[in-house]
Amino acid sequence: MQLYSFCFSSTSYRVRIALSLKGLYYDYKAVNLRAGEQRTEAYIQLNPAKGVPVLVTDAGDEITQSMAILNYLEEIHPEPALLPDDSLAKARVLELCNIIACDMHPVNNLRILGYLQSEFGVTEEQKNQWYKHWINEGLQAVEAHLLKHGFGTFCFGERPTLADVCLVPQITNAVRFNCDLSAFSRAMAIYEHCIKLPEFERAAAANQPDMIN
Ligand SMILES: N[C@@H](CCC(=O)N[C@@H](CS)C(=O)NCC(=O)O)C(=O)O
């Protein structure tokens, strides 16, 4: 397999964690988002949505959208399972994934922050205020969900699920943007636990071939 990825991309990081947890080998194809490589003609042929990640399967099929890629990996490589069998338990995991993937990530995506600056003259300070506001809103929902339905060392139990796969990259970004995360003690405890595990560490930005400062 091949993974089109950017070291600091949280959506790519989700997929890197899942590949690592499942012990799957892949070729790393770096896409420098800061240099705008996601908007080149060649890349748009690969992903018209102009983003990472893209997974190219062993058969050469291209899959975009991190949640679709995670679902594919779960079905093709079911062990270790990152979703519970029980329907309600699975819904709980996916609820948390969707808070992050649907409610939080899109409003703070690079292109949104760039548009705020280029079209509306938003200052760096205002951009950071926007970013922190949506992180805080989203993590309040995450924390409440974890307190209501979560248990164990990970989000849901003693083994990582897709909830942890989505949570860790989102918190990593929040830490990078100096957000105040003191109100989210359950989410932070899970994050601190996960990032020390070799499977998560392998997938971190610092360990990617395109790591830049
Ligand atoms: N919903 C998509 C979002 C993909 C996406 O936009 N990824 C970000 C990086 S985390 C990106 O490539 N942004 C490029 C840009 O905004 O120009 C997914 O989950 O894969």
Measured on CA atoms in the order 171, 174, 180, 183, is the torsion positive or negative?
A: negative
Quick check: CB of 113 below 6 Å from ligand 1?
no
CA of 152 to the centre of ligand 1 (A): 31
Quick one: 191 exposed, middle or buried, by C-beta within 10 A (0-12, 13-18, 19+)? Answer: buried
End-to-end CA distance of the chain: 27
**How does pLDDT run across 122-172, given as a tens digit for each residue?**
999 999 999 999 999 999 999 999 999 999 999 999 999 999 999 999 999
Of 5, 6, 9, best ligand 1 pocket probe by most atoms within 8 Å of the beta carbon? 9
Are 73 and 64 contacting, i.e. CB atoms less than 8 angstroms apart?
no
CA of 5 to the centre of ligand 1 (A): 10
Residue closest to 23 by CA, chosen among 154, 193, 202: 202
Nearest ligand 1 atom to the CA of 67 is: 19
Q: Is the pLDDT of residue 212 over 90?
A: no
Quick check: CB of 111 below 6 Å from ligand 1?
yes
**How does pLDDT run across 23-51, given as a tens digit for each residue?**
999 999 999 999 999 999 999 999 999 99
Compute the mean pLDDT over every residue in the chain, rounded to the nearest whole number.
Answer: 98
Q: What is the CA radius of gyration of the chain?
A: 17
Closest C-alpha to ligand 1, atom 18: 65
pLDDT at 11: 98
**How does pLDDT run across 115-135, given as a tens digit for each residue?**
999 999 999 999 999 999 999
Nearest ligand 1 atom to the CA of 11 is: 10
3-state secondary structure of 137: helix
What is the mean pLDDT of the segment spanning 189-209?
98
Of 50, 67, 110, best ligand 1 pocket probe by most atoms within 8 Å of the beta carbon? 110
pLDDT at 213: 72
Q: Name residues whose C-beta falls within 8 Å of residue 82's C-beta, 6 or more positions apart in sequence.
A: 18, 21, 22, 70, 74, 160, 161, 162, 165
Which residue blocks in the chain are alpha helix, DSSP H? 10-21, 41-46, 66-76, 87-98, 110-120, 124-149, 162-176, 185-195, 198-203
Are 21 and 199 contacting, i.e. CB atoms less than 8 angstroms apart?
yes
Distance CA 37, CA 176 (A): 22
Of 105, 172, 173, 177, best ligand 1 pocket probe by most atoms within 8 Å of the beta carbon? 105
Max CA-CA distance within the chain?
Answer: 49
